[in-house]
C-alpha cells in the first residue's frame, strides 16, 4: 500500500515536471535568444524547486519516522535483560490491560517489532510474592518467583546452589568433558542463594545464569521440575 510519503514525492515530481514543460512550451513558441535565456532560467528554477521540495519532504519524513521509532521502541526496551530474566527463570507475572489479567508475560504486547505492540506498559517491577503485586497500577508489569504447589522457584534456587557449588559432584561432565566451574563468588553472591536473592540480586543472578552451559541448565531445570539428584 502506498503511504503518504510516496504521494508527496510524486506530487513534488509532478510540480517539477510541470515547470519544465511550461518552460519548454515557452521555448517552442519563441525561437529567439532572449526566450532561450528565459527557458534556461526557468529550467534552473524548476530543477532547483523540485530539489528543494524533495529535500524538505525527506527531512519531514525522517522526523516523522524518528518519532514513530521512538514511540514504537517503548519504555520497556531498556529493560531487555530484566524481561529475559523473568522469562528464563519462569517468574509468575501480573500484566493487566483493559481489565484483563494475564499471568504470563505477553511479549507481543511489549515488543516494538510486534504488530500488537502497545506503549501502555511503562515499567517491569520484581516483587517477592503475589500479594505485593496487587498495589501497582495496571501500566506496571509485576513479576515474582513462581511458588505454588510445585515450589518451582525454590527448587530452581536449590539447583543453582548445587551447580554453583565447587564441591558438588554434579559438575562431572559426560564423555570426559571438562569445564571451569561457575561459582556464586564469581558474581559476588553469597552461598547459599535464597528466594529473596532472585528479586534483590536479580542482575547478578542473571549474569550467573548466562555463565552456565547447557549441561548446567539441564541439571538446574530438572531439579526445579522435581528431579532429586
The 10s digit of each residue's pLDDT in 177-207 is 656 778 899 999 998 999 999 999 999 999 9
Asked if residues 13 and 50 have their Cβ atoms less than 8 Å apart, the reply is yes
Domain ranges of the chain: 4-73, 77-144, 152-224
Return the pLDDT at 1. Answer: 44
pLDDT mean over 162-170: 76
Return the pLDDT at 12. Answer: 62
115-142 in b/e form (b: 16+ CB < 10 A) is eebebebeebbbbeeeeebeeeeeebbb
Which grid coordinates are listed for 197? 536473592
**Pairing relation of β-strands 123-126 and 140-144?**
parallel
Which grid coordinates are listed for 195? 528466594
Mean confidence (pLDDT) of the chain? 76
pLDDT mean over 15-38: 57
pLDDT mean over 22-36: 53
- Asked if omega into 224 is within 30° of 0 (cis), the reply is no
Segment 111-159, tens digit of pLDDT: 766 777 777 888 889 999 999 988 899 888 899 999 877 789 999 999 9
Amino acid at each position: 500500500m502506498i503511504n503518504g510519503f510516496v504521494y508527496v514525492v510524486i506530487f513534488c515530481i509532478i510540480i517539477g515536471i510541470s515547470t519544465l514543460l511550461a518552460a519548454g512550451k515557452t521555448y517552442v513558441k519563441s525561437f529567439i535568444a532572449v526566450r532561450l535565456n528565459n527557458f534556461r532560467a526557468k529550467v534552473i528554477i524548476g530543477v532547483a524547486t523540485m530539489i528543494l521540495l524533495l529535500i524538505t519532504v525527506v527531512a519531514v519524513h525522517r522526523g516523522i519516522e524518528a518519532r514513530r521509532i521512538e514511540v514504537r521502541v517503548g519504555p520497556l526496551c531498556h529493560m531487555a535483560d530484566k524481561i529475559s530474566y523473568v522469562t528464563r527463570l519462569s517468574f509468575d507475572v501480573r500484566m493487566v490491560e483493559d481489565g484483563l489479567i494475564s499471568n504470563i508475560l505477553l511479549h507481543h504486547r511489549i515488543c516494538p517489532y510486534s504488530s500488537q505492540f502497545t506503549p501502555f506498559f511503562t515499567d517491569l517491577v520484581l516483587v517477592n510474592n503475589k500479594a505485593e503485586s496487587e498495589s501497582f497500577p495496571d501500566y506496571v508489569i509485576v513479576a515474582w518467583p513462581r511458588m505454588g504447589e510445585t515450589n518451582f522457584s525454590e527448587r530452581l534456587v536449590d539447583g543453582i546452589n548445587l551447580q554453583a557449588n565447587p564441591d558438588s559432584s554434579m559438575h562431572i561432565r559426560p564423555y570426559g568433558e571438562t569445564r571451569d566451574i561457575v561459582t556464586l563468588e564469581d558474581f559476588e553472591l553469597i552461598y547459599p542463594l535464597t528466594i529473596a536473592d532472585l528479586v534483590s540480586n536479580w542482575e547478578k543472578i542473571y549474569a550467573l545464569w548466562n555463565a552456565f552451559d547447557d549441561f548446567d541448565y539441564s541439571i538446574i531445570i530438572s531439579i526445579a521440575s522435581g528431579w532429586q539428584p
